[in-house]
Each structure stands twice: as C-alpha cells, then as structure tokens.
Amino acid sequence: MKTKIKICGLSTEAAIDAAVETGATHIGLVHFAKSPRHVSLKRAKELRAYAGKRIKTVLLLVNADPKLTGQAIDAVRPDVLQFHGSETPDWLKLVADNSGLEIWKALGVKDAPTLAKSSRYVGAANRLLFDAPAKALPGGTGTSFDWSLLAGHDHQVDWGLAGGLDPDNVTDALNATHAPLVDVSSGVESAPGVKDVDRIAAFCQAVREYDASK
C-alpha cells in the first residue's frame, strides 16, 4: 500500500508545488503564533486556495478556543483539521459534528502507557499522529521518540508517524513501524520555518523507494 506523506509547516507557494510534484499526499498549514511556521488565517486561506484540489490541505491548531476554531475553519476551508494541543475527545467530536471535516489528533509518545491512552480517541479522531513528547513547542522540534514502542501496538484508529523524521531516517522509521502515513516538518527545512524543496523531494523519494521495495 502506498504510504501517505504529509509535508507540514508550509508557508510558500514554491513549497506547495514541491510537495505536489514529488508525490506528497498532504500539506500542513500551522496557525499557532508561537511556531516559526505560523501563518495567519489570511495567508493560510491563500495557500489553501493555491493548493486547490492538487493535494489535501491540513490546518493545524493548538488549543484554539471555539471562536478561533470556527474562524479558522470558515476562512481556510481545509480538508483536514489537526489538533496538536491538549484537546479532549469530546471537543474533537463536537468539531467534527459541526464542521464535517476529517479530524486528526497529534499525541506525544513518552512510554507504553501514554500510547495505550490513545484508545480514548476512538470515535473522536479519524487519524492519530504519534509524535515526540511536547517541549517548548508541541511539535516541529526535530526530535523523535522510541519507535519500538509502536511494535505490536493494536491501532484502533488510523494513524501516522511524526517527530524528527527526515530524508535520511524515514526509511528506517518505516521499516520499524510500517506507518501508513509519515509527517515531516523541520526535517525538510534549511532553517526554522524555511522549507527546502530539495529536501522535500529527497524525503518523498525515500518513501516511494520504500514502497517500491515492498
């Protein structure tokens, strides 16, 4: 099965083109002021329109209140809404019911018990993204977690792998986890928030070569 690829934290049309042309399936737009990848809702709307139907657009929010969440959905009209904070399953269900959007939830994986708690999102999220534990920022930190924690885990929700992935280690990550989706941000940058089109291409190529070897 073809591995899905999300290139997150985009802020330019060139980066979108690179993601589309090299075989990514999703792009991520970050609306979180503390992130070096933050884009305003106005800019996110422009980028979403530029991407059009060529690739699926994911809008990432972090502990956004109901007003901001509604404004973001209305402005950007993403294909997917990704939550990357301490949002509860009940909140995710409420947003899903009122927006009709596909809902993703990022979870920091510290240990096996933390991973086991992901079952609380069954019926609330369409996909879980297993990421490194939050530090100063909830994601995009370039750090990974112990992938062996996922070995043998009974995934009750569609999922993806994030945290510290880059063109050099994504093949190892896929061999270790067999993730159906890989999510990269800082690993394809030349500086914080600055996407490198060559690294995007290299990342996607590595994933497609992994797919071809199966």
State the first-to-last Cα distance of the chain, in angstroms, to the nearest integer.
Answer: 9
Distance CA 162, CA 2 (A): 17
Which pLDDT score, from 0 to 100, does residue 114 have?
81
Distances (CA, A) of 67 to 70, 71, 110: 5, 6, 31
Among candidate residues 165, 153, 185, the one with its CA nearest the CA of residue 32:
185
Element (H, E) at 171: helix 170-177
DSSP class of residue 119 equals G
Enter the pTM of the model.
0.93
Per-residue pLDDT of the chain (214 residues; tens, 9 = 90+): 899 999 999 999 999 999 999 999 999 999 999 999 999 999 999 999 999 999 999 999 999 999 999 999 999 999 999 999 999 999 999 999 999 999 999 998 988 888 888 999 999 999 999 998 765 455 455 678 889 888 878 899 999 999 999 999 999 999 999 999 999 999 999 999 999 999 999 999 999 999 999 8
Q: What is the pLDDT of residue 142?
A: 60
Q: What is the pLDDT of residue 110?
A: 86
Phi-psi region of 178 (alpha: psi -120 to 50; beta: other; left: phi over 0): left
Alpha-carbon span 19 to 10, nearest angstrom: 9
Q: What is the pLDDT of residue 136?
A: 46
Q: Positive or negative CA dihedral for 202, 208, 212, 214?
A: positive
User: What residue type is 167 in one-letter code?
Assistant: P
- Closest by Cα among 213, 212, 211 to 4: 211
C-alpha 33/C-alpha 36 separation (Å) is 8
The CATH number of 4-213 is: 3.20.20.70
